[in-house]
Amino acid sequence: MRQHFGQRVRFDEPMGRHTSLQVGGPADAYVRPKDVAELHHLLEWCRDHTLAWRVLGKGFNTLVLDGGLRGVTISLASWRTLSLEDDLVVAQAGVTHSAFARFCVEHERSGMEFAVGIPGLVGGWLRMNAGTREREMADVTEWVELLRADAQSAERVPARALCWKYRELELEPEIVLLGAAFRTTRAPVLEIQARLDAQLERRKATQPVNARSFGSVFKNPPQDHAGRLIEAAGLKGARVGDAEISPIHANFIVNTGHARASDVLELIEHTRGKVQAETGIRLETEVRIEGEATWD
């Protein structure tokens, strides 16, 4: 791997460097393939050596446990190409939310303002079917570009042919999501910017946007909101070590210092248990929990 990927592979790489909460143990191998051909080669190599692999973006919706990640962790964070195809904004998986917003303003493209401020990369947006109360990625995606582990080239699949769920895009385990095209319309720059600014202001007023967090911890149960249930249980500000339920929004956990993944996990389970005891509702995590609890 070192011979093939050079400095684009790191061994025993701390995942705290690659997750928004800045916690998590080391990945056995952390690889940044430069293109589809190299990614295909890496997937073949993993198959031939019976190695598990996973794709991790910026870790805005992932809790990596303290024992770290076995096998190969693949990053597409350097895949950042943006382009315009008629009314479609085409973005690779590594495009950041801020770069996406700037591109839409510069090219007078409207329709994606709801997504501004949703943390993470385009790949994460899609895998989590990210959105707001009004819209989500399933509503605006025209097609996605996928690479199957046993295929040498990528394919474009119509979004309508995929299985979109609440905060999830269901894909087979052996598929890597490379990017997507989003439907937009032309609008004046000032109008787009005004909507972006308003959306960002709402987020700043209601979410801990400047803290180290991984976004919403729990999915909203039917006809209710996880944050309301957690706040009603008196858990705002609750802590385990340096992991804290945000005083700004109860469905966010923030790292106030040197939190460990075990602190975060304990706080998640404490929150879930107390809400269930008081309401009978068992909250389901929106954040993905990956890795080993301890390092052997």
Active-site annotation holder among 167, 244, 260, 290: 167
Dihedral (C-alpha) 99, 166, 114, 158: value to the nearest 10 degrees?
60
CA 254 to chain centroid, in Å, comes to 16
286 catalytic? Reply is yes
41: number of Cβ within 10 Å = 15
Please answer whether residues 14 and 21 qualify as being in contact, where contact means their C-beta atoms are separated by less than 8 angstroms.
no
127 catalytic? Reply is no
168 catalytic? Reply is no
Please answer whether residues 230 and 251 qualify as being in contact, where contact means their C-beta atoms are separated by less than 8 angstroms.
yes
Please answer whether residues 149 and 232 qualify as being in contact, where contact means their C-beta atoms are separated by less than 8 angstroms.
no
Spatial neighbors of 42 by CB under 8 A, at least 6 apart, are 5, 31, 33, 53, 72, 74
Active-site annotation holder among 20, 75, 213, 216: 216
Active-site positions read 167, 216, 286
